[in-house]
Amino acid sequence: MEKYSIEGTPKTPTISFDLASGVLEIKGRSIPENSIEFYKPLVDALDKYSSSAKPATNVIIQLEYFNTSSSKCILDVFKKLENINKGGSSVTINWHYEEDDEDMLEAGEDYQAIINVPFKMVQVSE
């Protein structure tokens, strides 16, 4: 499995995980009916990836909105990334937020405080 991807919908984000290059992208809205079910395949893919992680893993998060149940699942994804980071792959999480979206900036800062992985806050203009 070299690539893992899910096409985004109005309720679910686009997920693109290129295992060969170590790049994981999550973009869009995350308000699925069942967040745990939606994110489980990604968590499983990260488990598999952790045994042969690239020297650097680059994570790009560009969410315009996510609900409370998604936030827990995103935290689970970040915890897997934290373990990969401890295992020797240099993980960087790039948290994108729009310049006028303080909620998304604060959400990124909250994750940054919880997870022991380098976070880059990336402000994007609309």
Tell me whether residue 125 is exposed, middle or buried, using C-beta atoms within 10 angstroms of its C-beta: 0 to 12, 13 to 18, 19 or more. Answer: exposed
CATH of the domain at 80: 3.30.750
Return the H-helix or E-strand segment holding 18: strand 14-18
pLDDT value, residue 125: 82
Total structural domains in the chain? 1
pTM of the entire structure?
0.94
pLDDT value, residue 1: 56
* pLDDT tens-place string over residues 7-39: 999 999 999 999 899 999 999 999 999 999 999
Residue-range definition of the domain harbouring residue 55: 3-124
pLDDT value, residue 2: 81
Instruction: Identify which of 104, 103, 98 has the alpha carbon closest to the alpha carbon of residue 124.
Output: 98
Instruction: Identify which of 17, 69, 68, 21 has the alpha carbon closest to the alpha carbon of residue 43.
Output: 17
